[in-house]
Each structure stands twice: as structure tokens, then as C-alpha cells.
Amino acid sequence: MRVARPWTAAGIVAGGVGLVLLAPAAPAPAAPQTHKPLPLERLFDNQAVSEDARPGDADFDGAGTSLSAADLRTAGWTPGRRIGLDAARLTWPRSAGTGPDNVIADGQAVRLRGRGEALTFLVASSSPQGPGAGASGVGAVRYRDGSSAPYTLSAPDWRAGPAATKAVGLPHLNTAAGQRQETARLYAVTVPVRRGRQIASVVLPKDPGPAADLHVFALALRQPGYGWTGSWAASTAGYTKVGPWTDQTLRLVVHTSAGGPGVRVRLENTFAAAPVEIGGATVALQASGAAARGTPVPLTFGGRPGTSIPAGAQVFSDPVDFPVPADANLLVSMYLPGPVEAVPVHSQATQRSYLSAAGSGDQSGEQGAESYTGTLTTWPFLTGVDVRGGPGSVVTLGDSITDGTKSTRDANHRWPDVLSRRLRGQLEVPAYGVLNAGISANRVVADRYPGEGVSTDTGGVSAQHRLERDVLAQTGVRTVVVFQGINDLRWGSSAEELIAGLRSVAERARERGLRVVGATIAPCEGESLCTADADARRSAVNAFIRDSGGAFDAVLDFDAVVRDPGHPARILPAYDSGDHLHPGDAGLAALADSIDLRKLVG
């Protein structure tokens, strides 16, 4: 199915009376009959975005419905804007709102050259019959050496697709009959390419059929983080009300794993509906509390001291020469001119950070602690710290046990912290950075936070829905350890559902060239939701993990490490934090100390 261009008004003057007749607009360019690759914007044949006063200018779905240009501007998605999504930088079409701004996929060849680790498409599907199930098709990546490889591109429906994986959500639809209060969404979808191969062009999928169209707005080659290692990370768990924060500074405390001679940070506006302004930012070593050891070093963004992060997007700071020790606390400060009323947040930091008083201005460069009169136990906006050099990183994908719930605050006793110290203290395997992608209350199969709107639930979207952002797009990732599932079982998921979810996570990670290490699920008898039935399902899932038929490259038997040998359904009392679900400091250290480090290396 291909969407026709809208009709335009043609004025005819007869006997001094102005008449307006409807005439068809100039036909949309047909799909090219040649295989000569062209820049994506030269292939645009559909207009999806209209100004609110002229909704008839666009017809995204063949039924006269379109995206609101005003909503996109409110979200910070202005024409020609570079949008950072999952470590790729895409350009929102310069023609959005004024002309064709996307191409309906039908086998067109797109000029794209370079080497990378993945392709990221900004897409959505549409249907004139209304919200649908999405569209999918097979395209091809052509390489300079003459070879090619297929890929599958799936685009969720722009009105019915999941909120949890959207790139941006908009509150209205434009129609000829007026604006409707109904959510529209666009998606960033990433597919793998052959690493190290020089790409010549990308062939879009053929038209998937009469039921739906697959629209492509932008395409970018995601570059590996050459010369960088992820040292610290936190996963966005929800979008919560704050303050409002106005004209004040956040000073966030984070703990490094790998060290290096230079640093950059990653800020994200995940799940947001509006852009956020960062007026200035710095990095420093922590002396104590909010006080820095030496004058904080300014960070820039594209050479500027501040930046605006569009809704749903991310930004990296420019690299700065700043020696970062391994196993050390950093202060990352950011000034918010404000007002900021809601933030994307990692809710369970198990670490005290700091906030200056409202109206105190930009205190990011202050060495002392005098301005920081408030405290935080969350990490807003900040999702990554990378260091120059190093061998790459391990990502630990998990829930509250990985997040460090019930470990000692400000002590960095999470099991990934202990694993990092073990890696630093040996020479047998690479001293990888360790990135903690644990979220308290998170599940593999189902979302806790729905992925849209201000919420008090900070359990995050599911591991399957956040895998691209929190694992596959991390800087220098080589290996992922998957230690998750107890929350699915506690809240009623079947063993079969959880096994299918874990298989999906492992398959997607291996498809991207990562080593995947599975960890068995720890016991929790004595906690209110850890029933005998839940434990039976846990045993079934653990049997799969131990003998998964190749789903995992290696297995860590965390269940065997912390269970009570005399009562295997519960945690050994010496390892129990007291709630029978979360290991305390001793139990977390036992998990990390049990790991054969050779299993992390492919």
C-alpha cells in the first residue's frame, strides 16, 4: 500500500468571482526503478508532519491523519535537529512540516557509507484502517567488497505501538476535521551489520503489503565507541515529579570501575515529553560529601558549555583530558536553569548525591560544598561515564539484587562493584569496566513503568524493552551477564514465559556479537510473594539456565552460591539482608567472588 499525496486548492477566477476547486497535488515520486543508491532525503515520498493550521498538507496514513509540527517543536524535535538515540545520531528531516519528510519502504537503495556496529532507523508504520499491528520486511546491507547481508526491519504502528520502546511520543493527531487528543509515536529500531566491513548502501524492505506502510524518517550508522571504555552506568527506571527545580545545580556522586586519562559523560532525557536545558556541567574527583578534590573541570557539548536534550534523546559531552582513577568516586555536576518539574531517574542509587538551593544559580564549578544544601538518593539524567582507552566493558543486566538494594549506602558494595575490584586486581583476563544495568523491581517479561508519562513506579520497562538502550548501545560492551527473573516469578509469570524472555534477550545480544553469560535465580523463601509455587517455577527456570542448549555462552550458578544447603528454597542466613529476598553485603560479595573470570571472556 502506498499513501497518495494530499489534494491542494487551485483558485479559478470567473466573472470576478473567486472559486476554489480541489485538484490533485503533484504526484509523489514513484519508488526509483534504478538500484542506484540515493541519499535518504531524495527518496522521501510521503509527508507525515503538518502545521496545525494546515493539516491537509500532510497525509501520513492514507486517511488524512498526520503528526503535529507544533508537538514536535515542543518536544525539541525541530527540523534538521540531530537527535541522539541509542548511541546513534540521526537527523530529523529538515523538510518536516513543509514537504515530504519520510519514505515508504519499497526496496529503495539508500546511499550510506562507512563502518559501524549497527544501523539505526527512525521509523513507524501506518494503516488507513486505523491503529494496526505494525509492519515488517526484509532489506539488505550492501558492502564495498560486493557482498550483502539481509536484515529484518520491524516498525511498530505510530498510534498503537508500545510506549516502552518509543523514541518520542506526541499528544495529538492532526486531521482535516481538527486536532485529536491521541498519542502518536516514532521508534528507533536498530539492526546489526558486519563489523569492520565498509558499507556501500542499504536497501530498504519491499512494501509489506496492503495492510500497512513502513515509513523511514532517518537512518544512521552507529559507530562503536572506538578508544573508549564504559566505566559507570545507570539505567533509567522511570519519570518522576521533582521540585520543581529552578536555577539550581545537581551534584551526582558515581563510582568508577575502569580508569583512564580522559572522560566523557552521557546524559539522557528518556521517557520525557519536553526537552531539558543543561546550562553547564563539570566533572571532579570527590573529596568528601559534595566537596571536590581540586577545581571541577568544565564539560562542553559540541564546544558549548551547555546543551538542550530533546524529549527521549541523549547527548555525550565532548571528551576532556581528566585523569580518572579506577575504583574512585566522581562528582558530575549539572546546572538546570529550569524550571524542571519531572525527570528521568534511576531511583535506587544506594548513594547520596547533592542539590543546591533553588535560585542559587550555576554552582557546577564550585569546589566546596557550601551551596549544596539538599541531598538526593537518585541519579537524574546521568546514565554513563566513559574513560579513554581500556579493553571494553561487561554489562550486568538485572533487578534489585544487581542494583544493590539492601547493600550499605555510599559503600559501593553492590556485587558488580566487587566484580570490578576483582577484575582490577588480576592479570589473567582483560580488566573490563563493569556497567550496572540493574533496576529495582524490574522484570524480564513485563513493564513496571509503562514507558510514558509521569509515574511513581520506577521499576522500569522490561529487560526486553530496555535491552537496546541499557546493554547493546553501551560503550565498549563485550559481555552481558543476565541475572534476572525473580520479580517475574513473584508476580505470576509462568516458567515458560520467563524462559522465552531470557532466550530472546540472549539471542538479541549474541546477534550483536556479545558474549552472553546467564546466572541462575537466587531463592527467596520467607518473603511474602515467594510462595512454594513461585519456587517451583524458579527451579524450572534455573534448570533451563544450567542446561540451556547453547542459549548462553557460559553459566554462573548464583543460586548455588547463596542458598542454604539445608534448606535450598531460602537464602543462607549469613547472606540474608533480613528481608529474605535481597542478599546483604556478605551475600553480594559471595556472588561476585564466585565468578570464574574466564567465563566473561569470549
Query: ∠431-432-434 over CA atoms, to 5°?
Result: 130
Q: How far is Cα 20 from Cα 71, in angstroms, rounded to an integer?
A: 30
Mean pLDDT of the region 473-498: 98
Mean pLDDT of the region 282-297: 98
Q: How far is Cα 442 from Cα 234, in angstroms, rounded to an integer?
A: 13
Q: Are residues 471 and 536 in the same domain?
A: yes
Q: Is residue 537 part of a domain?
A: yes
Cβ proximity of 312 and 86 under 8 Å: no
Cβ proximity of 216 and 328 under 8 Å: no
Q: Is residue 30 part of a domain?
A: no
* Model confidence band, residue 1 (pLDDT cutoffs 50, 70, 90): low
pLDDT digits (tens, 9 = 90+) for 66-98: 999 999 999 999 999 999 999 999 999 999 999
Q: Is residue 90 part of a domain?
A: yes
Mean pLDDT of the region 442-467: 97
Checking if the pLDDT of 424 tops 60, the result is yes
Q: Over pLDDT 90: what percentage of the chain?
A: 92
Closest CA to 511 of 545, 482, 551, 474: 551
Composition of the chain by helix, strand, coil, percent to 5:
15, 40, 45
CATH code, domain with 574: 3.40.50.1110
Q: Over pLDDT 70: what percentage of the chain?
A: 94
* Model confidence band, residue 210 (pLDDT cutoffs 50, 70, 90): confident
Cβ proximity of 77 and 273 under 8 Å: no
pLDDT digits (tens, 9 = 90+) for 391-419: 999 999 999 999 999 999 999 999 999 99
Q: Are residues 45 and 159 in the same domain?
A: yes
Pairing of strands 353-355, 248-255: antiparallel
Q: How many residues are given for the chain?
A: 602
Q: Are residues 423 and 561 in the same domain?
A: yes
Q: Are residues 338 and 375 in the same domain?
A: yes
pLDDT digits (tens, 9 = 90+) for 149-166: 999 999 999 999 999 999
Mean pLDDT of the region 417-427: 98
Query: ∠528-532-537 over CA atoms, to 5°?
Result: 110
Find the helix packing angle between 532-546 and 495-511, rounded to 10°. 30
Q: Are residues 358 and 397 in the same domain?
A: no
Mean pLDDT of the region 421-443: 98
Show the domain range for 314: 241-381
Q: Are residues 505 and 473 in the same domain?
A: yes
Checking if the pLDDT of 184 tops 90, the result is yes
Find where cell 540474608 sits: 576
At residue 5, the pLDDT reads 40
Q: Are residues 119 and 169 in the same domain?
A: yes
Q: Is residue 596 part of a domain?
A: yes
Burial of 147 (0-12, 13-18, 19+ CB in 10 A): exposed
- Mapped onto helix, strand or coil, the DSSP state of residue 67 is strand
Cell numbers placing 590: 559471595
Is the CA virtual torsion 259, 402, 601, 197 positive or negative?
A: negative
Q: Is residue 200 part of a domain?
A: yes
Strands (DSSP E) found in 238-290: 238-245, 248-255, 260-268, 276-278, 280-288
Q: Are residues 375 and 402 in the same domain?
A: no
Q: Are residues 364 and 469 in the same domain?
A: no
* Model confidence band, residue 209 (pLDDT cutoffs 50, 70, 90): confident
Q: Are residues 457 and 364 in the same domain?
A: no
Q: How far is Cα 554 from Cα 537, in angstroms, rounded to an integer?
A: 22
Checking if the pLDDT of 30 tops 70, the result is no
Checking if the pLDDT of 295 tops 60, the result is yes
Q: Is residue 13 part of a domain?
A: no
Q: Is residue 6 part of a domain?
A: no
Q: Is residue 25 part of a domain?
A: no
Checking if the pLDDT of 229 tops 50, the result is yes
pLDDT digits (tens, 9 = 90+) for 501-534: 999 999 999 999 999 999 999 999 999 999 999 9
Mean pLDDT of the region 184-189: 98
Is the CA virtual torsion 45, 51, 57, 61 positive or negative?
A: positive
4-8, 420-424, 434-438: the lowest-pLDDT one = 4-8
**Chosen domain end from 187, 222, 257:** 222
Q: Are residues 495 and 407 in the same domain?
A: yes
Any idea of the CA torsion for 39, 45, 48, 53, to the nearest 10 degrees?
110
Per-residue CA distances from 560 to 22, 407, 498, 566, 580 (Å) = 74, 20, 20, 12, 16
Kindly report the average pLDDT of the chain as a whole number: 94
At residue 371, the pLDDT reads 98
Find where cell 567488497 sits: 145
**Chosen domain end from 193, 222, 251:** 222
**Chosen domain end from 195, 222, 249:** 222
Mean pLDDT of the region 567-583: 98
Q: Are residues 367 and 433 in the same domain?
A: no
Total of domains in the chain: 3
